[in-house]
């Protein structure tokens, strides 16, 4: 059977912890988040786009339902009539495009912050580690600082889609 997307129900306000649990189990996960402006300045400024849910991609014949049912911070996959409800790939791709649009407008969790370590995942510099410097105007380009063998630090400009955070993946 082929891997499909499913909605994983999380415990209240525990989407991030459930996302970390799925990643620790090497499950492909999509956790969309948005930046908000709360009235209380001490309140969280980044919230789940779908409170109480994240999306996971799995082959349930291999992983089994119990992986998600008994995972910390999760209450199981969304089911109808006892069967896990598949989320169409087209819907996931549309949501990912929407999250990218929000990121370009600065409304999505900004990804890495200044001085965060990132991996270059694509292009001629793929496999190198760099330090995130800034997001350039237009939102699609970023500047990284790449340390060369001589110890010299060189600024490099890349498409934002070519990098991955070392500790967390962008939505």
Residue 139 has pLDDT above 70, yes or no: no
Average pLDDT over residues 55-69: 92
Average pLDDT over residues 110-122: 77
**pLDDT mean across residues, the chain:** 84
pLDDT at 144: 93
Q: How many CB atoms lie within 10 A of CB 11?
A: 13
Architecture of domain 4-104: 2-Layer Sandwich (3.30)
CATH 2.30.30.30 fits 117-165, yes or no: yes
All CATH 3.30.70.940 domain ranges of the chain, comma separated, are: 4-104
Q: Is the pTM of this model over 0.75?
A: no
- pLDDT-derived band of residue 138, with 50, 70 and 90 as boundaries? low
Residue 14 has pLDDT above 80, yes or no: yes
- pLDDT-derived band of residue 10, with 50, 70 and 90 as boundaries? very high
All CATH 2.30.30.30 domain ranges of the chain, comma separated, are: 117-165
- pLDDT-derived band of residue 171, with 50, 70 and 90 as boundaries? very low
């Amino acid at each position: 059977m082929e891997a499909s997307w499913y909605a994983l129900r999380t415990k209240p306000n525990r989407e991030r912890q459930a996302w970390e649990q799925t990643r620790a189990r090497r499950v492909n996960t999509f956790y969309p988040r948005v930046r908000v402006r709360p009235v209380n300045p001490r309140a969280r400024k980044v919230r789940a786009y779908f409170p109480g849910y994240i999306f996971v991609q799995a082959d349930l014949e291999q992983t089994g339902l119990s992986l998600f049912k008994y995972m910390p911070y999760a209450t199981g996959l969304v089911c109808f009539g006892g069967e896990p409800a598949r989320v169409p790939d087209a819907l996931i791709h549309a949501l990912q495009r929407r999250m990218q649009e929000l990121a370009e407008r600065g409304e999505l969790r900004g990804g890495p912050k200044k001085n965060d370590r990132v991996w270059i995942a694509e292009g001629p510099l793929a496999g190198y580690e760099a330090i995130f410097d800034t997001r350039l105007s237009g939102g699609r380009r970023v500047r990284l600082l790449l340390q060369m063998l001589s110890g010299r630090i060189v600024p490099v400009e890349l498409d934002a889609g070519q990098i991955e955070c070392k500790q967390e993946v962008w939505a």
